[in-house]
Chain A
């Protein structure tokens, strides 16, 4: 039962905001020793664990070519491509972002989008811009909400798109763990196919919530700062509710 203390180490470590690498390293050592392994054996398990999970880190091989393309304006071109669709509302834009993120992840293009690469410079400003075009300057709370939803679209698109691709870390982790532990042979393709139903649910559920964001913005901001157009939309939305 004491081996479960390792779980406690993780919880306490993260709760006290230690560096996650140290927390995970310490939890591993504690769990190993409590599980009856010798210190030498703990070291060996760390080594074996690293050697057998190298496939999780291989995406690094794509960084040089992506970085090179970014130097030549890959992000700018993506921005140009998206800015042609000028009539998008915040919700529709973010729903489209979710779809694109999910499709790109399903093709294995995880690092084309991302919080640093696309959300901060691209998706969040565009989503805010779309809201401001309709409602005028956003109050602090709404601005945070729009930005948070931009981040959520990226995460959900990535998580529930990437497993449809074959060579992604989590799929390789599943095959790696199961094939070595249970001496069987799972094909990455079979696992990837079973990620499709959840991917569709994620698109439907979060896409719907992103589209609803337009109505939240409308309800909260209608008639407040944007003047005439604000009042008008307040009346029309009242009509829509009835």
Chain B
């Protein structure tokens, strides 16, 4: 049986490989801090296996996470100058290879879907081939590995260091923003453990009259939207609002369909991401990339759509989730 944890070790190994390259990259003025950040992330990915199954203490991992936060937060990380091909080389290569270039890129989703739908049902020696419940993420991993092999054979690329280098420069250009979704998910867990969802639930149940299904739908969608605006990310808002309204009121009390309520609730949160300056990677970064004078330009362009879609989500949930 292929286990999900094996895949996390592979991701951890990729981080460690990239960190090793970063350490020797003299074009990066902060190569030590950068290598420490990504190397630590790689180690955390592997150590996380034993934290997840509770056979190792979680405190060292928590300390490592806070160390990564400090490394990136106080500016000890940077980026090097990637060794890229020239635009002329890429244009010539694109003319030569044509649409074949899309084949490895499309291999990833094709394999992921195949694993999620087909391989899931296969079994070897009485047990399933893929760990139960993790078929889709394993599909993504297997798809990426297969696509890499296909691409390297197709492009006659022999050295593994070339794709690792290419991936690393993308990683460096994204920088610490990469860790933010996971940290926000962690913040969501802390909010749940500390009872923030419980507090929000008390406030909402005090305000919310009994058996008002549609009002609860509106509160859940609007709450996801507002919390996402405050937290800059739907991932952190989701555990709070789901513990407050989504699960206890809409799923348990009103017998809503759990997948419908939760999926649409998350999408209501995404409407908030469209209008918050705190979602730096989606709103501030593109404004900088596009050299806009008005850094709220993308938000202004998105605002009417976000409000309309928030309404759509509430209506879809009210009509189809019960």
Contact = CB atoms under 8 A, between A and B. Distances in A.
Interface of A: 1, 3-4, 6-7, 10-11, 14, 19-22, 24-25, 27-28, 31-32, 34-37, 40, 42-77, 80-81, 107-109, 111-112, 115-116, 119-120, 124, 140, 144-145, 147-152, 154-156, 159-160, 163, 165-167, 169-174, 177-179, 181-182, 184-195, 197-198, 201-202, 205-206, 209
Interface residues of B, number: 147
Contacts of B141: 58, 61
Contact of A156 (B49, B177, B263, B302): B302
Contact of B238 (A154, A163, A174, A189): A174
A174 B265 CA distance: 10
Nearest to B296: A148
A4 B316 CA distance: 31
B318 interface: no
Interface of B: 7-8, 10-11, 14-15, 44-45, 47-49, 51-52, 57-66, 69-70, 72-74, 84-85, 87, 89-95, 97-99, 101-102, 104-106, 108-109, 112-113, 116, 133, 136-137, 139-141, 144-145, 147-148, 151-152, 155, 157, 162-171, 173, 176-196, 199-200, 230-232, 234-236, 238-239, 242-243, 247, 258-260, 262-264, 266-267, 270, 273-274, 277-278, 280, 282-283, 285-287, 289-290, 292-294, 297-298, 300-302, 304-305, 308-309, 312-313, 316, 320
Given A46-B58, A47-B62, 8 more contacts: A10-B232, A11-B230, A19-B72, A25-B69, A45-B186, A53-B189, A62-B144, A66-B170
Contacts of B84: 71
Nearest to B193: A45
Contacts of B231: 7, 10
B299 to A, nearest CB: 8
Given A178-B242, A198-B316, A47 B191 contact: no
Query: Which among B162, B266, B301 has the greatest number of chain A C-beta atoms within 10 A?
Result: B301
Contacts of B187: 24, 27-28, 31, 49
Nearest to B229: A11
Contact of B94 (A45, A73, A119, A167): A73
Contact of B157 (A62, A68, A144): A68
Identify whether the interface residues of B are mostly helix, strand, loop, or mixed. helix
Contacts of A195: 263-264, 267
B287 A46 contact: no
Given A77-B99, A163-B263, A156 B274 contact: yes
B262 A174 contact: yes
Contact of A57 (B136, B164, B182, B305): B182
Nearest to A123: B290
A74 B101 contact: yes
Contacts of A44: 57-59, 62
Contacts of B104: 65, 69
Nearest to B4: A55
Nearest to A172: B137
A174 B312 contact: no
Contacts of B232: 10, 14, 20
Contact of B290 (A1, A40, A150): A150
Contact of B14 (A32, A64, A151): A64
A62 B108 contact: yes
Contact of B304 (A4, A112, A170, A209): A209
A186 B259 CA distance: 7
B105 A49 contact: no
A24 B181 CA distance: 10
B302 A178 contact: no
9 contacts: A4-B200, A21-B73, A27-B187, A32-B190, A32-B193, A66-B167, A77-B97, A187-B259, A194-B259
B189 A3 contact: no
A21 B309 contact: no
B182 A163 contact: no
B137 A58 contact: yes
A10 B101 CA distance: 43
B94 A76 contact: yes
